[in-house]
Amino acid sequence: MGGRVRLTTVGCSGSYPGPDSPASCYLVEAPFEGRTYRVLLDLGNGALGALQRVVDPLHIDAALLSHLHPDHCIDFTAYYVLRRYHPDGPFARLPVWGPDAAAERLAQAYGLDSEPGMTGEFDFRPYPKHPFAVGPFTVEVSRVEHPVTAYALRLSAGGRSLVYSGDTAPCSSLVDLANGADLLLAESAFLEGEDNPPGIHLTGREAAEAATKAGVGRLLLTHVPPWYDAADVLADARPAYSGDLEVTVAGATYDV
């Protein structure tokens, strides 16, 4: 892949898997020490199956969790089975950064005692308050507005940067984190004109307004629930952002 940072949408369906996509999961790749380094952003319902069409899950180097709602993390229960019982194992523990409660929550989801839980397979690490290195990437995180502890993530490598909103309502912390990014991958789960509850998600227009305020080079809308038409979300966004804009789909790849 040369010197590029590449983003692959593994799953992008909002809130639950849809007929054309699993729930949230994104693969980010960049060169590192003579090979390709691979980071997962989230691993929601059904995403582990789709990931296998893109890359061997045993060739992932690290994972970053935006938050602990099932549509963003629950397939770690299946990933645990793969890493624990695969006949080619044992494998080194996979570094997994996320909210403080990640290890306990995922152990509970699989019916494991919290000790040791999944810690033989995953090296769970809380997000630090400062930028940190993950292979070739410098990672920065910022709390965003959602009913549970949730983070937006910024990954930078080779002079390129992408920001993933995770799930969030409109908030200044997303705009600040995305400032000057080459690509913003922003959730757009709500439609304009609906009676949307506050403090949960963005509309396409709100995602576009955040992208414009941050001066990002490209906007990808994601996390559209199956009950909405992505074309309507895109139509909401277009008047508020003049740059390169699209709704991502499962299997799409982008050079950042």
Distance CA 100, CA 175 (A): 24
Distance CA 106, CA 169 (A): 25
Strand ordering across the sheet containing 25-32: 122-126, 94-98, 62-64, 35-41, 25-32, 6-11, 253-255
pLDDT in tens, 74-115: 999 999 999 999 999 999 999 999 999 999 999 999 999 999
Please tell me the predicted confidence (pLDDT) of residue 36. Answer: 98
Indicate the residue type of 138: T
Query: Is the pLDDT at 70 greater than 60, yes or no?
Result: yes
Cα 101 versus chain centre, distance: 18
Six-digit token pair at 178? 């995305």
DSSP 94: E
pLDDT band at 2 (very low <50, low <70, confident <90, very high): low
Contact 12, 249 (CB under 8 A): yes
DSSP 124: E
Cross-strand pairs, 218:
244
To the question of pTM greater than 0.85 for the whole model, the response is yes
pLDDT in tens, 142-191: 999 999 999 999 999 999 999 999 999 999 999 999 999 999 999 999 99
Give the up-direction half-sphere exposure of residue 190: CA atoms within 13 A in the CB hemisphere: 20
Query: Is the pLDDT at 5 greater than 70, yes or no?
Result: yes
Helix (H) or strand (E) run with residue 27 in it: strand 25-32
Distance CA 160, CA 142 (A): 19
pLDDT band at 133 (very low <50, low <70, confident <90, very high): very high
Contact 122, 76 (CB under 8 A): yes
Please tell me the predicted confidence (pLDDT) of residue 3. Answer: 65
Distance CA 176, CA 45 (A): 30
- What's the mean pLDDT when you consider all of the chain? 97
